[in-house]
Structure 1
């Protein structure tokens, strides 16, 4: 049975709880009288334990209170065709699954009509977004460190392939001011030179395309099966049924047809950065 985002999140939660106690898998499996191979499958999301089995694991690890309840909720509906998160605990659970998929992906596609995709954001661009978004200053450094750490997936020796389909509007946003935006655009040009990154700009004036409906991420790997992640202001959504995933694969193909070539995209970004650099601020460049 294919791994699903919710099963992956459940497995990650169980694994983190075990590691938090400093226990190795075989050691802990013996303690709770479970087969190490089956415990491993539960922790990777390849199999889903029953509620009573999850309860046994959490109790043995001394997990209680809200954390206990949050993990136990993941047992139900692990193989439903979609997973919607509307509460803060659910958002944290989905982010855990997101990080798992991102780090294990073979191929990722980010459709980003209004903002630069997270893996291609500079530190100051991230800081500007978080500051304007109301993140407490005490939390900003931690969140920046986490996001920077995620870049390993495209920087390591065996990196994942990333297709970034960025809307032209994202290049003109005044995120942090002129210096931050120019540096961000230069960074995009630099990252586009990497063989595992296919960066393309979707220009204005190409008519309707699925990218105008909003951002989404498509994760593809050998196991788990391909999945789609969508993020809105108040909710997030995972899709993993074949019909849904194929619909988004078709959407990616449609956006690719109207996007600039990689070379034209780099020239376009460079031209915007050069013009922006000579203006007093981003607004003057847009005028």
Structure 2
């Protein structure tokens, strides 16, 4: 899709506009990337990638740039819009992403991987690499996935319940250190007042969502569901179909470990996790 242009001649695509504005701010100050890096405290290559749209960096970088340029919260606001931009995702996910951003609560069941909202950058990177992404596109998708977490981490963020099959916790990353960090991240997220993490042990046997990634998005007076496999995803909006899926989810939740028991289960997995790669 061609970029939409505003009357200013600048892009209205949030990610592209972010890079454009950073280039303009630096040009107006009349400094090189090296001078900017020395003043702000990050490597010059990072600022080059920010301006070229190869990465979005993190909020701390945006805040440092605001302070350097004296722009209030302008850069941080542009960064927030860029990381939340649904056009960063494949077409079939865009409608879902918009609804996820507006949800007041979310319930998820994951049979095989850590839910996107609970992933560390290292987990997301390895998972997306296995899906065939590399280079700039990989960096772009990891940044976008991390950006999805921002509403969840904000004060007054939506309620989120994630039920994880034991399979999720028995499928480690190739880097043991990164895997331990992911497990600790699950524990930390489970401590947040708006996040509940539960584990469904293998011992519970077969159930109605054995191989179905499912997310329920609750809006004012309405629930929609997203079901996904490794090849496709579908937004389920018809109320009867959503009700059937929710009944299955409720039955899974009934047999899952409590949040406290789930925390203990994850801690045991963490204790068992190797600290170094096997030779």
Q: Which interval holds the TM-score relative to the shorter structure?
A: 0.5 to 0.7
Q: Residues 200-233 of structure 1, C-alpha deviation per residue, up to 9 Å, x if partnerless?
A: 000011122123132111111106x211111223
Retained in 2: the 8 A contact 1:124–1:176?
Answer: no
Matched residue, 2:121: 123
Query: Which residue, out of 248, 251, 257, partners 2:248?
Result: 251
CA distance in 1, matches of 2:7, 2:165: 45
Matched residue, 1:45: none
1:185-204 to structure 2, matched below 5 A, reads 185-204=183-202
> Could you state the TM-score of these two structures normalised by the residue count of structure 2?
0.66
Deviation at 1:275, TM superposition (A): 1.4
Deviation at 1:254, TM superposition (A): 0.4
Retained in 2: the 8 A contact 1:107–1:219?
Answer: yes
Deviation at 1:277, TM superposition (A): 3.6
CA distance in 2, matches of 1:200, 1:217: 14
1:67-216 to structure 2, matched below 5 A, reads 92-216=90-214
Query: Which residue, out of 250, 259, 272, partners 1:275?
Result: 272
Where 2:209 maps in the other structure, the secondary structure is helix
CA distance in 1, matches of 2:7, 2:196: 40
CA distance in 1, matches of 2:238, 2:228: 18
CA distance in 1, matches of 2:161, 2:269: 21
1:199-238 to structure 2, matched below 5 A, reads 199-222=197-220, 225-238=222-235
Number of residue pairs matched by the alignment: 200
Deviation at 1:130, TM superposition (A): 1.5
CA distance in 1, matches of 2:274, 2:7: 51
Where 1:210 maps in the other structure, the secondary structure is coil
Matched residue, 1:21: 6
Q: Which has the higher contact order (CA 8 A, sep 6+)?
A: 1
CA distance in 2, matches of 1:274, 1:99: 35
> Could you state the TM-score of these two structures normalised by the residue count of structure 1?
0.64
Where 2:203 maps in the other structure, the secondary structure is coil
Matched residue, 2:58: none
Q: Which runs of 5+ in 2 are unaligned?
A: 9-86
CA distance in 1, matches of 2:6, 2:108: 36
Q: Residues 12-62 of structure 1, C-alpha deviation per residue, up to 9 Å, x if partnerless?
A: x9xxx87x5369xxxxxxxxxxxxxxxxxxxxxxxxxxxxxxxxxxxxxxx
CA distance in 1, matches of 2:7, 2:167: 47
Matched residue, 2:37: none
Where 1:216 maps in the other structure, the secondary structure is strand
Aligned alpha-carbon RMSD (Å): 2.5
Where 1:205 maps in the other structure, the secondary structure is helix
CA distance in 2, matches of 1:173, 1:202: 14
